[in-house]
Each structure stands twice: as C-alpha cells, then as structure tokens.
Amino acid sequence: MFDSRYKLYITLCLFSCIGFMQSLAVAEENMLEEIIVTADFRDRNELSTPTSITVMTEEIIKSRAAQHFEELVNAIPNVNYAAGSNRARFFQIRGIGERSQFVAPINPSVGFLVDNVDFSGAATIATMLDVEQVEVLRGPQGTRYGANALAGLINIKTHDPEDQFGANLKAGAADFNTKTIGAMLTGPVSEMVNGRLAMESHSSDGYYENDYLQTKKNNAQDELSIRGKLSAE
C-alpha cells in the first residue's frame, strides 16, 4: 500500500513539473518585445511614457508595405492628412493642424521630425526608407518642441550606423506599373566614425484617369530618396 502511494506521489510530481515547464515556455513565446520611445528627450519604455502615443515599429511598417508615412495613417488613431501634391504634406492630430499652405492656421500645429531635424510643414519627405520606428505623440508638445507641436508630434527615427559592415537590397512591384528598388550599406568609415547610406527609387503611373486629357498619370510618382548618416564614438 505504501509503495503504490509513493509511486502515485512521484508520478503527480513529474506531471506537475512538466506542466510548469510548458507554462514557462508558452510565457516566453508570448513575451512582447520592449519598445523604447525616444521622442521626449529620454529613452524609456512605451508603457512608462505619460503621453498618449502610438509607435509603429519596423516590423509593422514592413507588414503594411508602407512606402510613405501617409500609408500608416489609417492604423494610427486621431491622425489625418492633407496632400500637398501627390504625397501628404500636412498632418492633423485630433482635428488640429495645418491643412493647406494658404488656409489658416498658417503655422503647422503638428511637429514633424526626422532624426531630430524639424521638417514641420514639409512632410512630403516622409518616406519609410531605412526607418527603425515612427512615434506619434498626441496632445500638446509645445514645452519640448515649441509652437509647431501644439497638437502633437510625429517623430521618425531611422537606423543608426553600425560598427560592422552590412548591406541589404530590396525590390518590389505592384499594380499601375509600380516599381521600387532600394539598397542600404553600413559599416565603419574610420576607427572612430561609422556610416550608413540608404537609397531608394520608387515610381508609379498612378490610378487616377483624366478623361479630358486622356491620361492616367495625374497622381504619378517618380521619387528618388537618398539618406546618409554618420556617428562618432
């Protein structure tokens, strides 16, 4: 009788250990990658940032095949845009922001930064070439970024140069004769300086048709983007 109880006890312990290990494995698989926000002058976890914020990581950008920031807007709450030409130039957050170059408010109320350089009111440059993540801060950011960020801030951060040589090449094609080809090269320039260079060519015939002019190239795109970056140690 004692032996059977002892065997049963050992069996239950073994099954408990197996179940516990499986739970740990599932928990590790479901562990979310930490997202670090850089737009408020200090690097900290997204969950500890007091501002209402949406972060679009590189994985999200690639999954949506986004070529320009305007193609991410549908996934970001409270953000709209107005086109300056065939690309979005002006953005609004919670309904506040510049809509045209000639309609009030003249000064942009949504700040737009690329690697901490202010491009407010000139967001047509917002390609997703070699972008690490995009941070959208909703609500006034004037104490940190001035009058251009009274409604919020859009911060685009590109990849930093690396101290090891690396390169990648991408190419894509889509409807309306859309073609994209790009390349990136990074590595040490000298013992103290690292560099990164990214280039991309994007063209499309557009999908609007002008019956009067008998043309389909009303919103055609022909873009060449080049981005260089240096870092010193």
Percent of the chain clearing pLDDT 70 (strictly above): 77
Tell the residue number behind the tokens 């859009």, with chain if given. Answer: 154
Task: Report the C-alpha gap between 220 and 86 in whole angstroms.
Answer: 7
Does the pLDDT of residue 65 top 70, yes or no? yes
Write the pLDDT tens digit of every residue in 127-147.
899 999 999 999 988 877 887
pLDDT number for residue 95: 87
Write the pLDDT tens digit of every residue in 82-109.
876 678 888 889 988 877 665 655 677 8
Contact 190, 146 (CB under 8 A): no
pLDDT number for residue 19: 52
| Top-confidence residue, 17 or 70 | 70
Write the pLDDT tens digit of every residue in 173-187.
988 889 999 999 999
Task: Report the C-alpha gap between 39 and 50 in whole angstroms.
Answer: 12
* Residue 60, Cβ density class (10 Å: 0-12 exposed, 13-18 middle, ≥19 buried): middle
Task: Report the C-alpha gap between 82 and 62 in whole angstroms.
Answer: 24
Q: Spell out where 16-130 has E strands.
A: 36-37, 44-45, 52-57, 79-83, 88-93, 110-114, 117-118
Write the pLDDT tens digit of every residue in 22-33.
544 444 455 567
Please name which of 91, 100, 197, 201 lies closest in space to residue 148, comparing C-alpha atoms: 91
Distances (CA, A) of 213 to 108, 208, 217: 35, 12, 10
Structural tokens at position 14: 């073994």
Sheet holding 178-188, edge to edge: 166-174, 178-188, 193-204, 221-232
pLDDT number for residue 41: 65
Max intra-chain CA distance, the chain: 97
Task: Report the C-alpha gap between 184 and 182 in whole angstroms.
Answer: 7
Task: Report the C-alpha gap between 211 and 217 in whole angstroms.
Answer: 11
- What is the reported pTM? 0.76
CATH numbers and ranges of domains, the chain: 36-158 (2.170.130.10), 166-232 (no CATH)
Task: Enter the DSSP assignment of 40.
Answer: T
Q: Is omega for the bond preceding 108 within 30 degrees of 0, making it cis?
A: no
Please name the amino acid found at residue 210.
Answer: N
Structural tokens at position 226: 């080049």
